[in-house]
Structure 1
Amino acid sequence: MSTQTTTPTPDAPMLTEAQLTTMSEADYMNAAQLAFFRARLKQLEVDLLKNAGETTEHLRETVLVPDPADRATIEEEHALELRTRDRERKLLKKVQQSIASIDAGEYGWCEETGEPIGIPRLLARPTATLSLEAQQRRELKQKLYGD
Protein backbone atom coordinates (compact mmCIF):
# COMPACT_ATOMS: atom_id res chain seq x y z
CA MET A 1 0.00 0.00 0.00
CA SER A 2 1.18 3.49 -0.73
CA THR A 3 2.20 5.81 2.03
CA GLN A 4 0.79 8.69 0.02
CA THR A 5 -1.90 10.47 2.02
CA THR A 6 -2.91 13.12 -0.46
CA THR A 7 -6.41 14.30 0.18
CA PRO A 8 -8.49 16.13 -2.39
CA THR A 9 -8.68 19.86 -2.02
CA PRO A 10 -11.71 21.98 -2.83
CA ASP A 11 -9.71 24.03 -5.34
CA ALA A 12 -8.52 20.98 -7.31
CA PRO A 13 -10.05 21.05 -10.81
CA MET A 14 -12.59 18.31 -11.53
CA LEU A 15 -11.24 15.87 -14.10
CA THR A 16 -13.10 14.10 -16.87
CA GLU A 17 -12.80 10.36 -17.47
CA ALA A 18 -10.70 11.04 -20.57
CA GLN A 19 -8.27 13.21 -18.63
CA LEU A 20 -8.14 10.64 -15.87
CA THR A 21 -7.17 7.79 -18.19
CA THR A 22 -4.40 9.80 -19.86
CA MET A 23 -2.62 10.75 -16.63
CA SER A 24 0.72 9.13 -15.87
CA GLU A 25 1.24 6.42 -13.27
CA ALA A 26 3.18 8.93 -11.16
CA ASP A 27 -0.07 10.90 -10.73
CA TYR A 28 -1.94 7.86 -9.39
CA MET A 29 -4.42 8.85 -6.67
CA ASN A 30 -3.38 12.49 -6.58
CA ALA A 31 -5.76 15.12 -5.17
CA ALA A 32 -7.59 15.66 -8.46
CA GLN A 33 -8.16 11.92 -9.00
CA LEU A 34 -9.37 11.47 -5.43
CA ALA A 35 -11.74 14.43 -5.88
CA PHE A 36 -13.08 12.83 -9.08
CA PHE A 37 -13.78 9.49 -7.39
CA ARG A 38 -15.20 11.16 -4.27
CA ALA A 39 -17.67 13.09 -6.44
CA ARG A 40 -18.60 9.95 -8.38
CA LEU A 41 -19.12 7.95 -5.18
CA LYS A 42 -21.11 10.77 -3.53
CA GLN A 43 -23.41 10.96 -6.59
CA LEU A 44 -23.86 7.19 -6.50
CA GLU A 45 -24.72 7.42 -2.80
CA VAL A 46 -27.32 10.14 -3.47
CA ASP A 47 -28.87 8.08 -6.29
CA LEU A 48 -29.07 4.94 -4.15
CA LEU A 49 -30.70 6.80 -1.27
CA LYS A 50 -33.18 8.43 -3.67
CA ASN A 51 -34.10 5.01 -5.10
CA ALA A 52 -34.65 3.66 -1.60
CA GLY A 53 -37.01 6.53 -0.81
CA GLU A 54 -38.95 5.98 -4.02
CA THR A 55 -39.32 2.30 -3.23
CA THR A 56 -40.68 3.09 0.22
CA GLU A 57 -43.23 5.46 -1.27
CA HIS A 58 -44.16 2.97 -4.00
CA LEU A 59 -44.71 0.15 -1.51
CA ARG A 60 -46.90 2.39 0.64
CA GLU A 61 -49.27 2.89 -2.28
CA THR A 62 -51.50 -0.02 -1.43
CA VAL A 63 -53.86 -0.98 -4.22
CA LEU A 64 -56.65 -3.36 -3.39
CA VAL A 65 -57.44 -5.54 -6.37
CA PRO A 66 -59.99 -8.30 -6.14
CA ASP A 67 -58.53 -10.38 -8.95
CA PRO A 68 -56.04 -12.95 -7.54
CA ALA A 69 -53.95 -12.90 -10.74
CA ASP A 70 -53.57 -9.12 -10.60
CA ARG A 71 -52.76 -9.28 -6.89
CA ALA A 72 -50.10 -11.95 -7.55
CA THR A 73 -48.57 -9.78 -10.28
CA ILE A 74 -48.40 -6.79 -7.93
CA GLU A 75 -46.86 -8.91 -5.17
CA GLU A 76 -44.24 -10.28 -7.59
CA GLU A 77 -43.37 -6.74 -8.71
CA HIS A 78 -42.96 -5.71 -5.07
CA ALA A 79 -40.76 -8.74 -4.35
CA LEU A 80 -38.56 -7.91 -7.35
CA GLU A 81 -38.30 -4.29 -6.26
CA LEU A 82 -37.34 -5.33 -2.73
CA ARG A 83 -34.62 -7.68 -4.04
CA THR A 84 -33.26 -4.85 -6.17
CA ARG A 85 -33.22 -2.49 -3.18
CA ASP A 86 -31.48 -5.14 -1.09
CA ARG A 87 -28.68 -5.29 -3.67
CA GLU A 88 -28.56 -1.49 -3.67
CA ARG A 89 -28.38 -1.47 0.14
CA LYS A 90 -25.28 -3.67 -0.04
CA LEU A 91 -23.82 -1.41 -2.74
CA LEU A 92 -24.55 1.66 -0.59
CA LYS A 93 -22.47 0.14 2.22
CA LYS A 94 -19.58 -0.42 -0.21
CA VAL A 95 -19.90 3.15 -1.52
CA GLN A 96 -19.74 4.53 2.01
CA GLN A 97 -16.71 2.34 2.78
CA SER A 98 -15.00 3.63 -0.38
CA ILE A 99 -15.62 7.23 0.65
CA ALA A 100 -14.14 6.42 4.07
CA SER A 101 -11.08 4.87 2.38
CA ILE A 102 -10.59 8.11 0.42
CA ASP A 103 -10.65 9.98 3.74
CA ALA A 104 -8.11 7.52 5.17
CA GLY A 105 -5.81 7.84 2.14
CA GLU A 106 -6.23 4.16 1.24
CA TYR A 107 -8.49 4.43 -1.82
CA GLY A 108 -7.22 2.94 -5.05
CA TRP A 109 -4.84 0.44 -3.49
CA CYS A 110 -5.43 -3.33 -3.44
CA GLU A 111 -6.30 -4.67 0.02
CA GLU A 112 -4.38 -7.92 -0.61
CA THR A 113 -1.27 -6.80 -2.46
CA GLY A 114 -1.00 -3.07 -1.78
CA GLU A 115 -0.57 -2.47 -5.50
CA PRO A 116 -2.60 0.11 -7.44
CA ILE A 117 -6.04 -1.14 -8.44
CA GLY A 118 -5.85 0.95 -11.60
CA ILE A 119 -7.87 3.81 -13.02
CA PRO A 120 -9.74 1.73 -15.67
CA ARG A 121 -10.96 -0.74 -13.02
CA LEU A 122 -11.98 2.06 -10.64
CA LEU A 123 -13.88 3.80 -13.43
CA ALA A 124 -15.77 0.57 -14.12
CA ARG A 125 -16.26 -0.28 -10.43
CA PRO A 126 -15.52 2.66 -8.11
CA THR A 127 -16.04 0.45 -5.05
CA ALA A 128 -13.33 -2.05 -6.05
CA THR A 129 -10.98 -2.99 -3.21
CA LEU A 130 -8.86 -5.54 -5.11
CA SER A 131 -6.72 -5.27 -8.20
CA LEU A 132 -7.96 -7.22 -11.20
CA GLU A 133 -5.40 -9.98 -10.64
CA ALA A 134 -6.24 -10.31 -6.94
CA GLN A 135 -9.96 -10.42 -7.75
CA GLN A 136 -9.38 -13.12 -10.36
CA ARG A 137 -7.38 -15.18 -7.85
CA ARG A 138 -10.14 -14.80 -5.27
CA GLU A 139 -12.84 -15.86 -7.74
CA LEU A 140 -10.80 -18.85 -8.88
CA LYS A 141 -10.27 -19.89 -5.26
CA GLN A 142 -14.01 -19.56 -4.60
CA LYS A 143 -14.77 -21.62 -7.68
CA LEU A 144 -12.31 -24.36 -6.73
CA TYR A 145 -12.93 -24.50 -2.99
CA GLY A 146 -16.39 -23.03 -2.64
CA ASP A 147 -15.13 -20.49 -0.10
Structure 2
Amino acid sequence: MEQKDLDYFRDLLHAMLEEAQQKGDATLDELTDSNEIFADPADRATAESDRAFTLRIRDRERKLIKKIRAAIGRMEEGSYGVCEDCGCDIGVPRLKARPVTKLCINCKSKQEEDERERAD
Protein backbone atom coordinates (compact mmCIF):
# COMPACT_ATOMS: atom_id res chain seq x y z
CA MET A 1 0.00 0.00 0.00
CA GLU A 2 1.29 3.43 -0.87
CA GLN A 3 2.12 5.99 1.81
CA LYS A 4 -0.60 8.36 0.60
CA ASP A 5 -3.16 5.58 1.10
CA LEU A 6 -1.84 4.85 4.59
CA ASP A 7 -2.04 8.56 5.45
CA TYR A 8 -5.62 8.68 4.15
CA PHE A 9 -6.69 5.68 6.21
CA ARG A 10 -4.84 6.89 9.32
CA ASP A 11 -6.72 10.21 9.14
CA LEU A 12 -9.99 8.40 8.44
CA LEU A 13 -9.55 6.00 11.36
CA HIS A 14 -8.68 8.80 13.77
CA ALA A 15 -11.75 10.77 12.63
CA MET A 16 -13.92 7.67 13.05
CA LEU A 17 -12.48 7.10 16.53
CA GLU A 18 -13.15 10.67 17.61
CA GLU A 19 -16.71 10.56 16.27
CA ALA A 20 -17.46 7.23 17.96
CA GLN A 21 -16.09 8.47 21.27
CA GLN A 22 -18.15 11.66 21.06
CA LYS A 23 -21.30 9.67 20.31
CA GLY A 24 -20.55 7.38 23.23
CA ASP A 25 -20.06 10.30 25.58
CA ALA A 26 -23.30 11.89 24.38
CA THR A 27 -25.16 8.62 24.94
CA LEU A 28 -23.84 8.33 28.48
CA ASP A 29 -24.81 11.95 29.21
CA GLU A 30 -28.28 11.28 27.80
CA LEU A 31 -28.73 8.20 29.99
CA THR A 32 -27.58 9.89 33.17
CA ASP A 33 -29.78 12.96 32.55
CA SER A 34 -32.99 10.92 32.24
CA ASN A 35 -34.14 10.41 35.82
CA GLU A 36 -37.81 10.95 35.03
CA ILE A 37 -40.74 9.64 37.03
CA PHE A 38 -43.66 8.27 35.03
CA ALA A 39 -47.21 8.09 36.31
CA ASP A 40 -48.36 5.99 33.37
CA PRO A 41 -46.88 2.46 33.14
CA ALA A 42 -47.03 2.63 29.33
CA ASP A 43 -44.86 5.76 29.34
CA ARG A 44 -42.39 4.05 31.64
CA ALA A 45 -42.30 0.98 29.41
CA THR A 46 -41.64 3.16 26.37
CA ALA A 47 -38.85 4.98 28.21
CA GLU A 48 -37.28 1.66 29.26
CA SER A 49 -37.50 0.36 25.71
CA ASP A 50 -35.80 3.53 24.44
CA ARG A 51 -33.13 3.18 27.10
CA ALA A 52 -32.46 -0.45 26.12
CA PHE A 53 -32.19 0.59 22.48
CA THR A 54 -29.75 3.37 23.41
CA LEU A 55 -27.65 0.92 25.40
CA ARG A 56 -27.48 -1.46 22.41
CA ILE A 57 -26.29 1.41 20.25
CA ARG A 58 -23.70 2.31 22.89
CA ASP A 59 -22.49 -1.28 22.93
CA ARG A 60 -22.08 -1.22 19.14
CA GLU A 61 -20.12 2.04 19.42
CA ARG A 62 -17.89 0.47 22.08
CA LYS A 63 -17.17 -2.49 19.80
CA LEU A 64 -16.46 -0.16 16.88
CA ILE A 65 -14.01 1.84 19.00
CA LYS A 66 -12.21 -1.40 19.83
CA LYS A 67 -11.99 -2.32 16.13
CA ILE A 68 -10.76 1.15 15.16
CA ARG A 69 -8.03 1.02 17.80
CA ALA A 70 -7.01 -2.43 16.58
CA ALA A 71 -6.81 -1.14 12.99
CA ILE A 72 -4.65 1.79 14.13
CA GLY A 73 -2.45 -0.72 15.96
CA ARG A 74 -2.10 -2.81 12.80
CA MET A 75 -1.15 0.35 10.95
CA GLU A 76 1.60 1.07 13.50
CA GLU A 77 2.85 -2.54 13.20
CA GLY A 78 2.87 -2.32 9.41
CA SER A 79 0.27 -5.03 8.87
CA TYR A 80 -2.70 -2.77 8.03
CA GLY A 81 -4.21 -3.67 4.68
CA VAL A 82 -2.95 -7.27 4.79
CA CYS A 83 -5.50 -10.09 5.13
CA GLU A 84 -5.07 -12.01 8.38
CA ASP A 85 -6.18 -15.27 6.76
CA CYS A 86 -4.36 -15.47 3.43
CA GLY A 87 -1.74 -12.74 3.75
CA CYS A 88 -2.78 -11.02 0.53
CA ASP A 89 -3.25 -7.28 0.26
CA ILE A 90 -6.74 -6.00 1.03
CA GLY A 91 -7.87 -3.78 -1.82
CA VAL A 92 -8.21 -0.04 -1.27
CA PRO A 93 -11.89 -0.10 -2.33
CA ARG A 94 -12.60 -2.71 0.38
CA LEU A 95 -10.72 -0.65 2.96
CA LYS A 96 -12.68 2.45 1.94
CA ALA A 97 -15.91 0.52 2.45
CA ARG A 98 -14.76 -1.02 5.75
CA PRO A 99 -11.58 0.65 7.10
CA VAL A 100 -11.41 -1.65 10.15
CA THR A 101 -11.50 -4.88 8.16
CA LYS A 102 -8.93 -7.60 8.76
CA LEU A 103 -9.93 -9.81 5.83
CA CYS A 104 -9.76 -9.45 2.06
CA ILE A 105 -13.03 -9.78 0.17
CA ASN A 106 -12.36 -13.40 -0.80
CA CYS A 107 -11.65 -14.54 2.77
CA LYS A 108 -14.59 -12.56 4.14
CA SER A 109 -16.93 -14.08 1.54
CA LYS A 110 -15.68 -17.56 2.43
CA GLN A 111 -16.15 -16.83 6.16
CA GLU A 112 -19.75 -15.67 5.58
CA GLU A 113 -20.47 -18.72 3.42
CA ASP A 114 -19.13 -21.03 6.13
CA GLU A 115 -21.31 -19.25 8.72
CA ARG A 116 -24.40 -19.71 6.54
CA GLU A 117 -23.64 -23.41 6.10
CA ARG A 118 -23.29 -23.88 9.87
CA ALA A 119 -26.57 -22.04 10.46
CA ASP A 120 -28.49 -24.34 8.10
User: What interval of TM-score do these two structures reach, taking the shorter chain for normalisation?
Assistant: over 0.9
Identity of aligned residues (%): 37
Once the two structures are TM-superposed, the CA of residue 65 in structure 1 deviates from its matched residue by 1.8
Deviations 1:63-94 (A, max 9, x none): 11211111111111110010011111111111
Once the two structures are TM-superposed, the CA of residue 145 in structure 1 deviates from its matched residue by 2.6
Using the alignment, how far apart are the partners of 1:32 and 1:120 within structure 2? 14
In the alignment, which of 72, 80, 102 is matched to residue 107 of structure 1? 80
Unaligned runs of 5+ in 2: none
In the alignment, which of 23, 33, 36 is matched to residue 51 of structure 1? 23
Higher helix share: 2
- State the match for 2:101 in structure 1: 128
- State the match for 1:33 in structure 2: 5
Amino acid of the residue matched to residue 56 of structure 1? L
Using the alignment, how far apart are the partners of 2:42 and 2:118 within structure 1? 43
Using the alignment, how far apart are the partners of 2:40 and 2:30 within structure 1? 20
The list of structure 1 runs, each at least 4 consecutive aligned residues, that deviate by more than 6 angstroms after superposition, is none
- State the match for 2:70 in structure 1: 97
Deviations 1:81-108 (A, max 9, x none): 1001111111111100000001011001
Report the count of equivalent residues: 118
Amino acid of the residue matched to residue 28 of structure 2? T
Unaligned runs of 5+ in 1: 1-28
Question: TM-score normalised to the size of structure 1?
Answer: 0.77
Question: TM-score normalised to the size of structure 2?
Answer: 0.94
Q: CA RMSD in A?
A: 0.9
- State the match for 2:61 in structure 1: 88
Amino acid of the residue matched to residue 107 of structure 1? Y
SS of structure 1 residue aligned to 2:101? coil
- State the match for 1:19 in structure 2: none
SS of structure 2 residue aligned to 1:106? coil
Once the two structures are TM-superposed, the CA of residue 30 in structure 1 deviates from its matched residue by 1.7
SS of structure 1 residue aligned to 2:108? helix
